[in-house]
Amino acid sequence: MTTRSNGMGKSNSYPTKARGLQKRRRWGETIIQSLLFFAGFVSIFTTLGIVYELGKEALLFFRTPVVNLLDFLTGTKWQPHIDQFGVLPLVSATLLTTAMAMLVAIPLGLAAAIYLSEYASLRVRNTLKPVLEILAGIPTIVYGYFALTLVTPLLRSIFGRDIVEIYNTASAGLVMGILILPLIASISEDALNAVPRSLREAAYGLGATKLEVAVKVVVPAALSGIAAAVILGISRAIGETMIVAVAAGAGPNFTFNPFRGAETMTGHIVRISGGDLSYDSMDYNSIFAIGLLLFVITLTLNIVSQRVVRRFREVYE
């Protein structure tokens, strides 16, 4: 036992066992923390390595006398064999297929999320949500041939064979929307479920209907999560490869007509890299320039997503 004076002539006793309450190293937690740190380090290091390689090879492309950065970003013709390196045809096709995909994925995904969160019973929700997420597990090459063999003939039968080409961005975009739908629905449904029950009960107490509660109370309260889901869906659509490579077309075409064939950035990279390219050639280096531009677009969308989430995030007690 140890003693200590309390200033009034008395002493308080403290057991020496108190030393056993000192912080002890827990080796299990230390190992887990080290593994998590290692995983984070590998992720960051891999990203930096990808950016370094893209930047290094793209710099070789832009150092070529026939390539001008302004012409690369604003040119409307991509024909490397005659020294025309305008990337706008590839960018326009990418944005067009992405817009078509989001026209399908946003309303259907948000509607599915509202139904699962506000209307479906627990049993129905536990059944439908895994079924919905199965769509995300289907190989994208299957989606590509689905667009080419089913959606394209359907569009041609509706709008006419003279209007809809065999390879077109509309069919690729529509099927890509089905691919992205589970992503938007799942994230949006989680955001809707995070809204406190008290907000719903307060709206019901004021006489609101179930639809009014869902649309005017729950959805605005979960807006930050829904916006993040939409932006992540856009990033996923921009980076999609196999669907557009199979169904959209295999030639750069600066057009905003969804019924015509056009080649996206990812589709062009797949087509060119699949051929016999010599190292350090113009076509070879152009792949990395396009990849770097694609990385910048995706990074910009992620930054915007973070800002949107912080701007509209609701904090509840």
Q: How much is the pLDDT for 315?
A: 57
Is 43 domain-assigned?
no
Q: Any idea what the Cα angle at residue 53 is, between residues 51 and 55, rounded to 5°?
A: 65
Q: Give the residue-averaged pLDDT of 113-117.
A: 89
Position 28 confidence tier, pLDDT thresholds 50, 70, 90: confident
In 46-132 the beta strands, taken as DSSP E runs, fall at 78-79, 84-85
Q: How much is the pLDDT for 106?
A: 93
CATH of the domain at 156: 1.10.3720.10
Position 156 confidence tier, pLDDT thresholds 50, 70, 90: very high
80: pLDDT strictly greater than 60:
yes
Which position has the token pair 């932006």? Answer: 231
Q: The tokens of 240 are what?
A: 């999609």
Is 232 domain-assigned?
yes
Q: Give the residue-averaged pLDDT of 113-140.
A: 84
pLDDT: which is higher, 189 or 23: 189
309: pLDDT strictly greater than 80:
no
Q: Cα separation of 149 and 124, whole Å?
A: 33
Q: How much is the pLDDT for 100?
A: 92
Question: What is the total count of domains within the chain?
Answer: 1
289: pLDDT strictly greater than 70:
yes
Position 313 confidence tier, pLDDT thresholds 50, 70, 90: low
Which position has the token pair 């701007």? Answer: 311
Which position has the token pair 């449904």? Answer: 189
152: pLDDT strictly greater than 60:
yes
Is 121 domain-assigned?
yes
Mean pLDDT of the chain: 83
Q: Cα separation of 178 and 44, whole Å?
A: 31
Q: The tokens of 244 are what?
A: 């557009």
Q: Give the residue-averaged pLDDT of 304-316.
A: 71
Start-end of H helices in 135-196: 140-146, 152-159, 169-193
Is 315 domain-assigned?
no
- Integer angstrom CA distances of residue 309 from 38, 206, 208: 28, 29, 28
Q: Which residues span the domain enclosing 104?
A: 87-278
Q: Cα separation of 271 and 250, whole Å?
A: 7
Residue 94 gets the label, from left (phi > 0), alpha (psi -120 to 50) or beta, of alpha
